[in-house]
Amino acid sequence: MILPVHSVLAESETLLLAKANQIQASNESRLLSLIGADKALVFAGAQYTQEQTCPKILRHEFRKLDKSDYQSLCEYSGKLILVVNTASKCAYTPQYKGLEKLWQAYKDQGLVVLGFPANNFAGQEPGDDQQIRNFCEVAYGVSFPMFSKTEVTGHRATDFYRQLAQAAGEPPGWNFHKYLIAPDGKVLASFRSHIEPEHPELLNMISRYLPGTQGHQLSRNTYIDGADSYGYGSYGAGF
């Protein structure tokens, strides 16, 4: 049986169209695969770069205080970092004022103060993130980076604080314990709670590592009488 010419042409056109669609779908699939591979390579490259440039101790993310977004501590790589576990109802709470002054005085030279509110000691940080934020801003004008409430000691301590405690040889013993981290990620010193932000021991250690201040001892007068020289390690007996 011989089909009409128009039927043959119609069938051929249908087959060609189907083949063209098949080729297009195949090409699109290959393109998507290539795009996916490129994205994977970019992500892997970015991750590799971060691992090469960001010290291991800073490879942690924390939620910002009273915000939904998270921040990687790798953003502070290359800076001198003072890490402090804070509380709103502690005898040491007025240290917020000194920490803010320290941050304002030396942030342009590479110092960053990071606050981690914690309720680990005597329940002295009972509020939620919004209450903590409002208290810090209203009572002390805090503008240095603060993060969501964090576990800083005990079996529930975050990996970041576990690493700090291991490197420094001691976990926080109370609120406003301070760790100083060098620009290369080395934990330089641990300062117990009663060592205030303007204490000569802390200022002297900062002067050793803060770009632009090496060889120049920071002092209480210029910051807010020359500081004496101290050794490395943990500072302050007791809390």
- Phi-psi category of 78—alpha, beta or left, where left has phi over 0 and alpha has psi -120 to 50? left
In this structure, which amino acid lies at residue 66? Answer: D
C-alpha dihedral over 89, 92, 98, 99, to 10 degrees?
A: -70
The set of catalytic residues is: 90
What is the chain's alpha carbon radius of gyration, rounded to the nearest angstrom?
Answer: 28
Give phi and psi for 61, each to the nearest 5: -120, 140
Burial class (CB in 10 A: 0-12, 13-18, 19+), 73: buried
**Nearest 10 degrees: CA dihedral of 123, 169, 177, 57?**
-100
Q: Which parts of the chain are beta strand (E)?
A: 61-63, 70-72, 80-86, 111-117, 178-181, 187-191, 233-235
Query: Residue 204 in contact with residue 219, Cβ under 8 Å?
Result: no
